[in-house]
Each structure stands twice: as structure tokens, then as C-alpha cells.
Amino acid sequence: MQKTYHVDLAGLMRIYETNYAKMNALIPMEPSVGQTRSYQVSDMSYQLEIKEVTRYTTLVDVCQCDVRPVFPLPRMLVRLYHDARVAEVCSSEQISRVKPRYDYPNKKMMQKDEKFQLNQFLGEWLSFCLRHGISRTPIY
């Protein structure tokens, strides 16, 4: 008999909270729609673009940019909830809305814990960017 997958809510909330702190270190203090920040990390560059600003939330498009990509580069929409101080991946690549859990197997072959994995990946990516020489000077 196969075990049912249950969302680790406490673990997911920890990731949301740390991602919020990391994102806040990278976006402008008072973000406005259309504002873009580009950074250089090692031989890679990535970009944060403010897509939406409301009283309690900010929607940020996060992507790795490369002139000649060898493989698909990460891109995701992240919503920051300022009242709760959490950041959540809303969509990524071809996933327009990330569900908390997926039945497995499924048509798109999503993992049962796809939402957890995407948010964990965002956290690891942001940690890498913060740790490895971010240029605070935007690259245009």
C-alpha cells in the first residue's frame, strides 16, 4: 500500500519566510511596477522585475539571463506577502499555477511535492546569488 503524501506546512512556511528575507535584500526598498534590477553572479546574470505592487503584496519576476543559454534557464513569479513576511513561488516555467500537491502519476509528471521543491530551489538560488559576488550595480 502506497503512503499518501501530506504537505509539510511547517517546513514550507520556513522556506517562505527565509525566501522573503532573501528577496527583500535584492529588491528596491520602495518598489514600483516596471522597476528592474539586474545582477552579475560569477559568469551568470539574473534579473528581478517588479510586476505588481499592492498595499500588502509585491509580485516579482525572477529569471536567470544568459546571452547564449545552453539549457533552459530558471524563471519564476514570486509573490511577497508583506503582512505575513513570506514569499511564495506562484508560477514557474510552464506551470501557470503551482498546486500544493499533485497526484502521482499525472499528465505533466509533476512531483507530489512540486510546490515545496520549487520554493526550496528559489531559496537555494537566492542564497547562491547573495553569497557569490552580487554586483549591486545593475547591468544593462
Domain ranges of the chain: 12-130
Summarised one tens digit per residue, pLDDT across range 16-64 is 999 999 999 888 889 999 998 888 777 778 889 999 999 999 999 998 8
Segment 114-139, tens digit of pLDDT? 788 889 989 998 888 888 766 555 54
Three-state helix/strand/coil letters over the chain:
CCCCCCCCHHHHHHHHHHHHHHHHCCCCCCCCCCCEEEEEECCEEEEEEEEEECCCEEEEEEEEECCCCCCCCCEEEEEEECCCCEEEEEEECCECCCCCCCCCCCCCCCCCCHHHHHHHHHHHHHHHHHHCCCCCCCCC
